[in-house]
A = this chain, B = another copy of it.
Amino acid sequence: MSGEDAPAQNQQQAEEKVQQEPKDQSAEESPSEPQQEPQPAATETADAPPAATDDKAPEEEVFTYRSLVLTGYGGYDKVKLQIKKGLPSPKSGEVMVRVKACGLNFAELLGRQGLYERLPSPPVTPGMECSGVIEAVGEEVTDRKVGDSVLVLGRCGLWQEVVVVQADHTFPMPEGMSYEEAAALPINYITAYMMLFELGNLRPNQSVLVHMAAGGVGIAATQLCHTVTDVTVFGTASASKHEVISQGGVNHPIDYRTRDYVEEIRKISPKGLDIILDPLGGSDTQKAFNLLKPMGTLIVYGAANRLTGQKKNLLALAKSWYNQFSINAVSLMHANKAICGFHLGYLDDEFPLIARVLNTLLELYTQGKIKPRIDSTYHFEQVGDAMRRMQERNNIGKVILFPEPKKEEPKAEEDQKESTKENKNEETKNAIQTEEEPKKEGEETKQEQS
C-alpha cells in the first residue's frame, strides 16, 4: 500500500466516482470542478476535429476529459476516475487521439499492487494500449491525418478520453476491425507473437503449452500457434472455459484446478512438449522446465502466482520468490533445453522491432488468421469491476475499458453488454453512477447520431 499518500497532481478527482473512498479523497485536490460536463466534451468531439470543442458549450471555457488514475497501491479502489483540464495539443511528431477503447492487462493489476516496476509511481494514469480517432496532428507528421482510426501502443497513460502520443506509436486500424478489437490486440498479440516466433521459433508439428489459455495472451497464443501447420496446443483453464477455448483452437484443454496438469500432459505426450509459455512463475516454472522435450523452449513471461488477491499478498510473493526457478549453464547443457524471459515492458528501446511485429499482426488480422476475443467491456467508472473480473480469472479473452460514460438506456446497455453476460452481478454491485449522467447522456446520444 506504499505510495497511497501521493497527491493527485494536476488532476481533478471526479467526486461522485470515488464516493466509496472519502478518506482517500480528502487528502487530494479539491473537487471544485465536478464532472458535470466531461461527457459533452468527450463525446461531441469524437467525430470532429478538436477545434469543434470551442463551438459547443460556450459556458465551459476549459476543455476537460476523463482519465483513470492510479492514486496509490492497493485494491481495486485505488484506480479512480478523474477529470483532467486543458486540451492537450500535439507537439511536433505527435498526434492527439480521441480514445474509443482501452485494453486492460495483467501489468495494470500488478501495477495497482506496486508489483510492476515499469509503471511510474502514483499518481499515474495506467494504460498501454488503446484505439481511437486522430483529432489533431502535430508538425512533421506526414503519414497520419485527422480522422484516421488507429490503435495506440504506449508504456502507460492511455486510459484517458484523449491522449497525445508520438505518431509512430499509432498504427492504422485495418478495415473491418472494431475499436474493441483494436484495443485488445497490441499487448496480448505482440507478447504471444514475440514469444512464439522471436524466441520460441515455433515450427510445424510442434507442441505448445499455453497456461491461462482463456486469458488475453492465451487466446492470442492459441490463434498464433495455428498459423503454423500441425501445431498441437495444450491449454490450462478452469473447466467452465473449456468449450470456448476448444473452439478457439486449444486441442487439449486441461483443468488445472482439479487435475495435475503435468500428469495430464504426460499421458498425451509422454516425451514432453516443445514450447511452454509460463505466465505463472514460482514452482510452475520448474514444472515447465521438466516438462520440456530435449531441444524444447520454456518462455517465462509473468509471475501471475504472485497475484493472489486484491491487495499485495506478501506470503504469495515470498512463496513465488522462494520457488523461483534458477538454473546454471552446465545443467542447461545436459538438459539440451532453452529458457527465455520475456517482458514487453522492458523492451522500450526496441520499438522498431515491436512496430514490425505489430504490423505483421495487423496483416494476419487482415488475412483472417487472428481475431481478438472480447470477453467484456466496462466503462471507466467500472474499472474496479473490470480489474476484478480479470484478477479473479473470470474472463475468456480481453477485458476492454470505454472512456465514455456508461449509458443508462436499456437499448444502449444491451449493446455494450453483449459479451458480458457473466458479470452482471459484479456490475450491479460495483457500478458507481452519477445522478446527473443519464439526462446528459441522452443529449449526447442525439448529438452523436446527428
Contact = CB atoms under 8 A, between A and B. Distances in A.
A315 interface: no
A161 B347 CA distance: 56
A268 interface: no
A340 B337 contact: yes
Contact of A341 (B278, B324, B333, B349): B333
A337 B301 CA distance: 11
Interface stretch (A82-90, A193-201, A211-219): A193-201
Given A194-B295, A326-B328, A328-B325, A333 B339 contact: no
A203 to B, nearest CB: 9
- A-side interface mostly: mixed
Contacts of A327: 326-327
Contact of A337 (B285, B294, B324, B341): B341
A60 B334 CA distance: 46
Interface string A340-351: 111100110110
How large, as a class, is the contact surface on chain A?
35 or more
A281 interface: yes
Nearest to A325: B329
A336 interface: yes
Interface in A313-368: 324-343, 346-347, 349-350, 353
A295 B336 contact: no
A200 to B, nearest CB: 8
A14 interface: no
A329 B350 contact: no
Pick from A295, A337, A338 the residue with the most CB of B within 10 Å: A338
A303 interface: yes
A19 to B, nearest CB: 39
A300 interface: yes
Contacts of A337: 340-341
